[in-house]
Each structure stands twice: as structure tokens, then as C-alpha cells.
Structure 1
Amino acid sequence: MRGVIKQIFVDNWEKFRKINKGKIRANIDREVYKMINCGSLDNGFIEFKCENCGEIKRVGFRCKSRFCTSCGKKKSEEWSDEMVARLVNSKHRHMVFTIPKELRIYFARDRKLLSLLPKCSAKAIMSWFRDLNKKECFTPGIISVIHTFGRDLKWNPHVHLIVTEGGAGEITVWRNTRHINYTALRKRWQKILLDEIGNNIKSRKKEFKRLKNELYKRLKNGFYVYGKGEIKTAKQAARYVGRYTARPAIAESRIKKYDGEKVTFVYERHEDGQKVEEELDVFDFIGKVIRHIPEKHFKMIRYYGIYAKNTRHKNKFFKLVDEKVAEFKRKMNNWQTRIVLTFGVNPLICEKCGAQMKFHDIYYKNKSMREKFRKKIMNENKKKIEELMYSYGVIKGIIRDKIEPLYV
């Protein structure tokens, strides 16, 4: 059902806002309106023109919101390509670090705590690698992606990681590490995360201390860590990374029915792999979807170890994907190429005469940028001509029909 999520919000957002006045985060309002108006010509557009027959095609600006299913998917693909281009030529492992249900409420109350998930999971992995050899202090590469939703749209903060099966040492250039002790990782993850939450929460500290002790008693093997997803090739990496990069909480394809009052969507249950259909009141559906919109400028993707930006290992290893291939993919990632690859249709072929349309103008706030720049250039050139004429007059000594001295 193409465009159904946008239609759900177009139909119901204003009423939802009135019912929940004062309860909606400012960034949610901003992102929803961006998504609703995505592609509207009122927000500006690019104009293409056929030089053969004069036909004009206008393409509205996109909202570039992570909440928009169209723009979010595009952004997810771009991030996926960027991350795969960073991977070194080593086997990688896909890991998932989870938290108990009792802790979820703390991340809902204070969304800044979400940054602890990638930080603490990376710390657990890196400390285990370094303990392999204290002298070598092996450093792996880690890319982490924060997720706040489960397949059923419930609030379920966890973190997905792509981790190298090996690390760079202080003396040894690289050491492969096939076996990772998940029992040790679980216990480290549990301790590091609980300590960090305790240090960062601003209220209900006694309540959290009691919960912390209960979790240690009940979960003696630590918090659950999954790590069986082995990544050997660039193609596998792209699939894994693309699946778990920051994206909208639900894809259009999962919505099976919307009748104005109810929304029916499908998801695959983790426990048994069975497909489940769930029907929700439209306002309940909206509430479940918008709670996963992150705060403005909050980074859902983090890099650690040899994949950190300011690392001395940055250009030390061969990449999983050739840099020329990665650069070519970046250049090909444009609006026209994506439509050709997705639908097999060139959007810039004139529908009237079949000729190739060319870029003609950009309109922003109902103003032509071509006309704006033309006037700007004309004014600048006019000033330059006046300056040149004045300089010429000074050199010739002829200003205002009289001789003026060159030096006073």
C-alpha cells in the first residue's frame, strides 16, 4: 500500500495532536509535518525542461526526514553504502545486545540514556579483546546501530553491532579471533550498562538500586547477547548493514489494511518465526510509531575501535570494498538513477516527444533561483563595469568632462 503511512497521518494527525496536547515532543511535531509535506511543490521544486518541445516537469523537494518512509529508506541505503565502504577486509560478526524489560522504562523517560547502549556494548567487546593480550591491547572495529522498536512496534531499546573477527595490536598488525566468549560478554555488558545507568539517571536512584540487585540475582549469566550472524563478503555486509541501519519503525509493505479507523499490519514473531497480523485503532498506531522518532541531531549510528573517525588505524588495512567502487556507487546514488534502477523508467525522458529533458531552474519560496542569480550577476557586473570605467577615467585624466591630477 504505497503512501499509506503518509495518508494515515494526513487524515488523523491534527486530531491526534488535539487529544494529546502537551504530551508530544517538539521534534515529533517537526518530523511529522516534514513527512506530510514531503514532495509538495509549495515547499519548492526543481524544474526540468524539454528543449525540443518545451514540456516542463517539476520535482518537489524531499523532506529528508528519517521518519519519512521514502526519505528514510534512501538515507538508510546511503548510510549502508557508507558503512560497507568503511569495513576492512576481514570477516565480521553481527551481534545484538539486548536489555531486560524492566530497564526499558528508564530509556523512555530519558532518551539521552539511549547513547549508553552503543557506548557500553562497545566497551564490553573492546575490553574482552584487550584482555586477550594486555601487552598487545587488540582493538577491533565496531559499527553500532541503535534500535528502539521491536517487530510489533513496542518500545524495545537494543543495539545491533557489526564487529570485526579480529583486532589490531600494538605490535602485531592484525590477529584473527574466531572464538568470542559470549558468556563473558553478557556479564561485562550487564555490569557496564547497569553501572552507567546508575551514574546517569537523575531521579529514582533508590528504586534503580533495588532493581539492579534483583537483576544480578535473577540474571546470573548477564544480559542476553546474540552473535551468530557471520559476515564474509561485501554483499553479505550490505545486506546486514542495510537491514539494521537507522530506518522508519515500519515499512509500507507491512501495512495490509487501513480503513480510516483501524490499521492492520503484519510482523514475524521472533519466538517461532510465525507471521502475525495485528489490528490497532489508528490513534494507537500513530502513538506506537511516533515514539520511535529520535531527538533532533541524535546519532543512531556510532563507530568505535578501528572504525572511529580519529583513529590511527584509519588507512592501515585493505578495505572490504574497493574505494573506486565505493566512489562510483556514491556518484550513482541520485534521484534519476534510483528511479531507473527501481522502476526501469527514466524520469527525465519527455512524455510528449521522447527527448531528454534538462535542468532548467530551481524554485524556492515561490522565487526563481535562476532569475535571482541572473539579477545578482547583472548587479555585480554593473558594479564591476562602473569600477572599470572609473579606473579608465582616472588613468586618462578625464572625469566629469575635466582634467584631474593623478596625484594630489
Structure 2
Amino acid sequence: MTMYRTSYEVAQVLERNREQLAGLCANSWQSRTLHALRKCRTAALGGHIDRCDNPGCHKLHLSYNSCRNRHCPKCQGHKREQWIRAREAELLNVTYFHMVFTLPSELNRMCLYDPKSIYGLLFGTAWQVIKGFSSNPKFLGADPGMVAILHSWGQNLSLHPHLHCIVPGGGTTRSGKWKFARNKGKPGCRKARYLFPVKAMSKVFRARFVASLRKEFPPHPTAFYENLFKHNWVIYCKRPFLGPEQVVEYLGRYTHKIAISNHRIKSLDNNNVTFTVKDYRHGGRKSLLRLTDAEFVRRFALHILPKGFVRIRHYGILSSSRKKALLPLLQQVLGGPVPNGRPPLKHRRCPYCQIGIMVTVAVFDSRGPPKAWSDRLKNSAPRRTPQKA
């Protein structure tokens, strides 16, 4: 996958504040993550030397290793593409619905205190709501599926935990047959709006989440939980995707997205960071936000997930334990994914001739390439380009 350099990077902010990173983080895991991002594709992580296999070229190319961290702005492209291709093969020829479950700001402090538990409850409760409404014969009366993706940020990098969910418009009955949602699940159905009643879902979501919260954190005073019922919890439901192509496009934007990408950063001056933000309350109008380095790093660190926490989860008929056997059968009945015409993932092309494939001939650590290879690189007139390790 081709990578494009940007004028400014998150890594630059981290590098010029490397001595203060630990003090801007809530724990050592966040600090370790930021230092990994700071070193990404630099000599500090070592690298490798590749040679073009085209007989007419044979040029050498120096690449520094990537950190491969899921929070890194420079390491998501290839992973995202691999994940999307895998999901494309699992698409059914049905209507898909998009729902967003959002936690109120009153729970932000608890998210900072114990993100693993709170985010885990968010995943579990969202699935309970979807499964509960789907199993009700009044709405569907079938076993559903769901892909859920956790985002914890808003446009200004503040804490804004929410779950993006993709739900097929139907499910499997006890006999194993597919059942479409009433006038909503068939592909191309123009009457389709929302899969289930939004207001009813919101009330159930709030009640179930607070009930689970009481069990998980019993010492909290009753007034705290009562305060959570003073405001409506909104489940945002978009109109259904028009087809499988839209589902894939959506997945491409959201699956491996991080708190802020490098292209949003517009300037780094006087220990300040200026980046673009969208105001979705006013039609997505763009503006610029200026933060000090310290505040930018502090906000960015808020969205570093706990070690080992899974932020993309599959449920029901789309879970890993069921989809291998079930989805091929459903695709025979409903139809499989629509061919997208995209070329398969390929090996990295030579940046010089654009014909040959780069083959690794040497690897090195942070001390740099051996002298013999350094001399060969000079003779080969290499140029460094931002390629993924």
C-alpha cells in the first residue's frame, strides 16, 4: 500500500516532548505506547535493506521498522486493508443497518478510572439490546449478528466513548433459516429506515447499562446512579446502507481509525499544535483548534486502550465461533458479496522502477546497517521513502 508523507506528524509532537511524556500519562502503559509511536520508522527501531528483484534495476532501499502499534497514525493502512478484505468475503446480500451507542459525559471519570470495565460493559450492553429486540417476535424473532467498533474520542480529542455497530437486517431462526426484518431487511428496500424503535432501544440501553454498572461498582452512592436517569441516552440510528459497497466503505473509514490522523495537523509552532476539527452540529463545518503540546499529548493519551483490550468485536451469527460454518450456507441462499473489482493485496513494489518486488536482503538493529551494506547503499544511490516495514 502506498504511503504519503504529511507535513506534520503526531510523532514530531511526541519527540519534542519526549522528556515529559511520562508526566502527561495516567499510567506506564500509556507512556510506553507514546514512546513506541515516537520511534516509529526511525533508526531507534532498527530496519532492513531491500533489493529490487527486477534484473534491470536491482537497487537497494533502506527502510526503518514500524512500531506496529494500533494507536499509531502511520501503521494502520495495511492492517485496515487486510481486515476489510476479510470482512468483504463475509457479506450477505441483505440490508445492513448502522447504530451508534454513546455513553453520557457523566461516566467519563469512570472511563478514565477503569476503561477496561466500562468499555467492556458498553460492548456487552449494546449486544444485549440488539439481541433482545431481535429475539422478540414483534420485531424480528430471529438470532442476529453484529460487528461493533469502539471509538473513545470526539473531534477535539476529548473523551467521547461510543460504539459503532453494523447489524444485518435479519437473522436465523431456530430451524437455521434466514428471516428478513419486516419490510426492512431485503436488499434495496426503500421503506427501510431503522431496524428497531430508537426511543425504546435508548431506554433499554440506559436501564441495562446502569443495572450492570451497579453490579460492577456497588460502592457508588445511589444518587450517582439516579442522576444517570435524568437525561435521555441517545442511540443514533442512520438510514441503512444502500448496498454491500457502502458497508465496505464505512468499514474502511472506521475500523482502524485512531484519535487523530497526521493529515489533520496543520502546524507545529511555539510548542503548540493546530489541527482541523469538524463541527457535526453545523453540518460538519471545519475549523482549526490550537492546543499546547502538553494538552495535545494529554488528550491523545486518553484514547490509548488498556493492554490487550479488543476494540473490534463480532457477535451472534457473525462471531468467529459460528460464521465459518454458517455464513457460507447463508450466502448460498441469500447471495454472497458483490465483487468490488479491487486488485488483490500485493508485495511492495520497487520505489524506483515500479516494476520489481522488494526482497529483504539484510536486517539491522538500532546501531544501524553494517558498514558493508552502508557502502552498497551509497553506491546504489538510495533514497528513503516512508514505506511500511
Normalization by structure 2: what TM-score?
Answer: 0.79
Secondary structure (helix, strand or coil) at the match of 1:361 reads strand
One-letter amino acid of the counterpart of residue 45, structure 1: H
The 1:90/1:334 distance shift into structure 2, 3 A limit, reads farther
- Decide whether the 8 Å contact of 1:246 with 1:300 is kept in 2: no
Which of 228, 237, 244 aligns to 2:254? It is: 244
1:360 deviates by 4.8
In structure 1, what is the equivalent of residue 226 of structure 2? 213
In structure 2, what is the equivalent of residue 71 of structure 1? 75
1:53 deviates by 6.5
The 1:303/1:53 distance shift into structure 2, 3 A limit, reads closer
In structure 1, what is the equivalent of residue 105 of structure 2? 101
- Decide whether the 8 Å contact of 2:41 with 2:64 is kept in 1: yes
Counterparts of 1:166 and 1:96, CA distance in 2: 18
Question: Sequence identity of aligned pairs in percent?
Answer: 23
1:16 deviates by 3.5
- Decide whether the 8 Å contact of 1:90 with 1:320 is kept in 2: no
In structure 1, what is the equivalent of residue 47 of structure 2? 44
Counterparts of 2:242 and 2:78, CA distance in 1: 25
1:296 lines up with 2:307 in the alignment = yes
The 1:320/1:2 distance shift into structure 2, 3 A limit, reads farther
Q: How many aligned residue pairs are there?
A: 343
1:189 lines up with 2:217 in the alignment = no
In structure 1, what is the equivalent of residue 31 of structure 2? 29
In structure 2, what is the equivalent of residue 310 of structure 1? 321
Counterparts of 2:262 and 2:274, CA distance in 1: 11
Unaligned runs of 5+ in 2: 1-5, 185-194, 370-389
What are the residue-to-residue correspondences of 1:9-408 with 2, within 5 Å? 9-17=14-22, 19-20=23-24, 23-41=25-43, 43-49=46-52, 51-52=55-56, 55-113=59-117, 114-132=119-137, 137-171=141-175, 173-177=177-181, 178=184, 179-201=195-217, 205-207=219-221, 209-216=222-229, 218-219=230-231, 222-273=232-283, 274-311=285-322, 313-318=326-331, 320-321=336-337, 331-332=344-345, 334-336=347-349, 346-347=350-351, 349=353, 356=356, 359-365=359-365
The 1:159/1:260 distance shift into structure 2, 3 A limit, reads same
1:246 deviates by 3.2
1:164 deviates by 0.8
Structure 1 or 2, whichever has the larger Rg, is: 1
**C-alpha deviations, 1:342-382, integer Å up to 9, x for none?**
xxxx52528xxxx74652513144799xxxxxxxxxxxxxx
- Decide whether the 8 Å contact of 1:28 with 1:290 is kept in 2: yes
Normalization by structure 1: what TM-score?
Answer: 0.76
1:172 deviates by 6.3
- Decide whether the 8 Å contact of 2:21 with 2:34 is kept in 1: no
1:92 deviates by 0.3
1:268 deviates by 1.1
Counterparts of 2:156 and 2:58, CA distance in 1: 50
In structure 1, what is the equivalent of residue 384 of structure 2? none
The 1:333/1:128 distance shift into structure 2, 3 A limit, reads farther
- Decide whether the 8 Å contact of 1:89 with 1:317 is kept in 2: no
What RMSD in Å do the two structures reach over aligned CA positions?
2.8
Counterparts of 2:261 and 2:245, CA distance in 1: 22
**C-alpha deviations, 1:34-74, integer Å up to 9, x for none?**
22222235523142156556632122222211121110243
Counterparts of 2:39 and 2:149, CA distance in 1: 28
**C-alpha deviations, 1:133-180, integer Å up to 9, x for none?**
69x951112000011101111001110000111111113612221241
Of Structure 1 and Structure 2, the greater helix share is in 1
One-letter amino acid of the counterpart of residue 315, structure 2: Y
The 1:360/1:287 distance shift into structure 2, 3 A limit, reads closer
- Decide whether the 8 Å contact of 1:92 with 1:231 is kept in 2: yes
Structure ranking higher on relative contact order (CA contacts 8 Å, 6+ apart): 2
Counterparts of 1:164 and 1:49, CA distance in 2: 45
One-letter amino acid of the counterpart of residue 68, structure 2: K
1:106 deviates by 1.2
Counterparts of 2:152 and 2:132, CA distance in 1: 25
- Decide whether the 8 Å contact of 1:348 with 1:357 is kept in 2: no
The 1:156/1:362 distance shift into structure 2, 3 A limit, reads same
Counterparts of 2:58 and 2:86, CA distance in 1: 39
Counterparts of 1:24 and 1:228, CA distance in 2: 35
- Decide whether the 8 Å contact of 1:126 with 1:140 is kept in 2: yes
* Structure 1 residue runs of 4 or more that deviate by more than 6 Å after TM superposition: none
